Chain A
Amino acid sequence: MTAVTEKPGAISAVADELPLTITAAAAALRDGTLTAVALFEKVKARADKLDAAMGTYIVRTDEAALAAAIQADADFAAGIDKGLLQGIPLGVKDIIATSDAPSTAQSLILDPAFGEQGDAVVVQRLRAAGAVLTGKLTTMEYAIGTPDPSKGFPTPRNAFGLNYWPGGSSSGTGSGVAAGMFLGGLGTDTGGSIRMPASWSGITGMKQTFGRVPKSGCVPLGLSYDHIGPLTRSARDAAAMLAVLAGHDESDACSVDRPVNDYVGALTGSMEGLKVGVDTSFLDWQTCDPDVASLTRAAIAVFKDAGAIVTEVKLPFWDELCTSTMAGLIAEALSYHRGDMIARWNDYGYGTRMAIGTAMMMTAADFVQAQRVRRVGVRAVTELFGQYDVLINPTCLVPPPPVDNLTFGELIPSILTPYWNATGNPAMSVPMGLTSAGLPVGLQIAGRPFEESTVFRAGDAFQLLTDHHLQESTLVKEMLA
């Protein structure tokens, strides 16, 4: 097993002394100070106290999770070690099929037969690695839009303030990791749905290279933009999860057959000599929150002080590539949803039907042009990455918004994530601190295709020099007291 080099202190200040990270829990499971069953009981007790208020779960699978924890302990006792995820409680966004629970996509529309296909490939891989899957997590309906309480599903709320949104669409994964209801989980990202909730929940979220992780068994949104990926507290934990999730599978037409790197083993803890491009022009936008601007500048200073070579850059075709993602994904979504939208428009949540319905205003030529622009964008970004190892900017220009009366269209200009769905590059959000109102925001780190190791290296080194990813919510601590 890879040596644990994580900084100390990844244990909750709450009386349950929950290990905050997968890495810390994995070490405790192996040094005999914790069992998988005891770990599961800790996170289960948190869910018992927190979930009703936070809207993290759609369904919990306590019985199956306990059985998996017992098996993990039995394996440890027998000398069987399947890797860092053995015995680790993880959650699954409810648009990914699992054999032990139905899948709803948080929608009245989805045919229940979708959930009867058994485990998605990624879920099979997590189970094979010995993970303890705790249940299915809230999402925006079909991974797009905003919460619609009228449809009978839980409204996800932010661990740092219940009146705030944890981000979406992987909302439950974000809030649950932040609150310690599980130590990591699966989200999906079509325009930012891993990175946005990671940013607004104070945790880490990785959207790896398109095609790196098979997305079969996941309800599609935009088929040429969709990714399944990990949300965790630390970059090191995300690396451990991606090492299990990554790899070719022929069930996904977009899956790429390339060797999987040793993401954890490649962490050096150093940024020395790392060539970092930063586009600070976003910080001058009228929509940029002053706290986000100052926290971004502080994060950049950490990179510089750690020996990274930081240079100002301009990300090419910004507006056009963001349009390519947002227009392209809704067009692909409408092709999937048109029949149901004709028959059952009002059964869709307001935010979902308005977002996907916008694709009705596009032409076929517009869609193809969006795909031509993607090719131009990939070329331009590839040229830029000839000079830089990673490119950084804030994940979102604003802190978490109030959860009530969210409007999808108004949010989009403040979210700096869709650009990397157009190009397919890996991009990760890491926590960069709390605003003056105590709300978390994140820094986005993007890298070259299939060079997730470099992105993880930068994020891990940043987290060795900061404590933002270990920040616990005061509200959660109070609710658990």
Chain B
Amino acid sequence: MSPTAEETVTVMLAAAGITVPDDEKAEFVAAYPAFRASLDALYAVPMSHEEEPQLIFSPFV
């Protein structure tokens, strides 16, 4: 069974080490499904499996 938005947000806040008031956590929980859907849509963009990210590492400062 998939975790609920509240369970996910609880875990991710804990992982970040940031404590927020309950009312603000509730806002994150409410916003999470739409935010997650927008991020999931990024994986549906047609691209080469080997597409590079726009940020490229350079060995020079």
Contacts and interface: CB of A to CB of B under 8 A. Distances in A.
Given A360-B18, A378-B54, A323 B39 contact: yes
Given A342-B18, A366-B39, A372-B53, A360 B12 contact: yes
Contact of B41 (A319, A346, A374, A378): A319
Given A224-B55, A319-B38, A320-B45, A360 B13 contact: yes
B17 interface: yes
Contact of B20 (A357, A366, A371, A376): A357
A370 B40 CA distance: 10
Contacts of A409: 31
B24 interface: yes
B16 interface: yes
Contact of A341 (B18, B35, B47): B18
A338 B54 contact: no
B24 A375 contact: no
Contacts of A354: 24, 27-28
A324 interface: yes
Interface string A313-355: 0000101100110010000001000100110011000000110
B51 interface: yes
A27 interface: no
Given A345-B20, A366-B42, A376-B45, A361 B28 contact: yes
Given A319-B41, A323-B38, A357 B51 contact: no
A358 B15 CA distance: 13
Contact of B42 (A323, A353, A357): A323
Contact of B43 (A253, A319, A369): A369
Contacts of A128: none
A59 interface: no
Contacts of A327: 35, 38-39, 42
A370 B42 contact: yes
Contact of B52 (A346, A366, A370, A372): A372
B34 to A, nearest CB: 9
A427 B51 CA distance: 26
B41 A320 contact: yes
Contacts of B21: 346
A373 interface: yes
Contacts of A346: 21
A362 interface: yes
Contacts of A366: 39, 42
A342 B32 CA distance: 20
Contacts of B2: none
A361 B36 contact: yes
Q: How large is the interface on B (under 10, 10 to 19, 20 to 34, 35 or more residues)?
A: 20 to 34
Given A338-B18, A357-B20, A373 B55 contact: no
Contacts of B51: 372, 375-376
Given A338-B16, A357-B28, A360-B12, A371 B41 contact: no
A358 B35 contact: yes
A48 to B, nearest CB: 40
Contacts of A372: 42, 47, 51-54
A382 to B, nearest CB: 13
Contacts of B54: 224, 371-372, 374-375, 378
Interface centre among B47, B54, B55 (most CB of A within 10 A): B54
Contacts of A374: 53-54
A368 interface: yes
A331 to B, nearest CB: 10
Nearest to A350: B24
B53 A368 contact: yes
A466 to B, nearest CB: 36
A345 B18 contact: yes
Contacts of B16: 334, 338, 342, 360
Contacts of A320: 41-42, 45
A358 B24 CA distance: 11
B4 interface: no
Contact of A361 (B12, B47, B61): B12
Nearest to A359: B16
A354 B55 CA distance: 26
Interface string A149-189: 00000000000000000000000000000000000000000
A361 B53 contact: no
Sorted from nearest, which 8 A-B pairs have the closest CB atoms? A371-B53, A374-B54, A360-B16, A323-B38, A371-B54, A375-B54, A369-B42, A366-B39
Given A354-B27, A373-B45, 16 more contacts: A224-B54, A323-B38, A327-B42, A338-B18, A341-B18, A342-B16, A345-B19, A357-B18, A360-B18, A366-B39, A371-B54, A371-B55, A375-B54, A376-B45, A376-B51, A409-B31
28 contacts: A320-B42, A320-B45, A324-B42, A327-B39, A327-B42, A338-B16, A342-B17, A342-B18, A342-B19, A353-B24, A358-B28, A360-B12, A360-B13, A360-B16, A361-B9, A361-B12, A361-B36, A369-B42, A372-B42, A372-B51, A373-B42, A374-B53, A374-B54, A375-B54, A376-B46, A376-B47, A378-B54, A409-B31
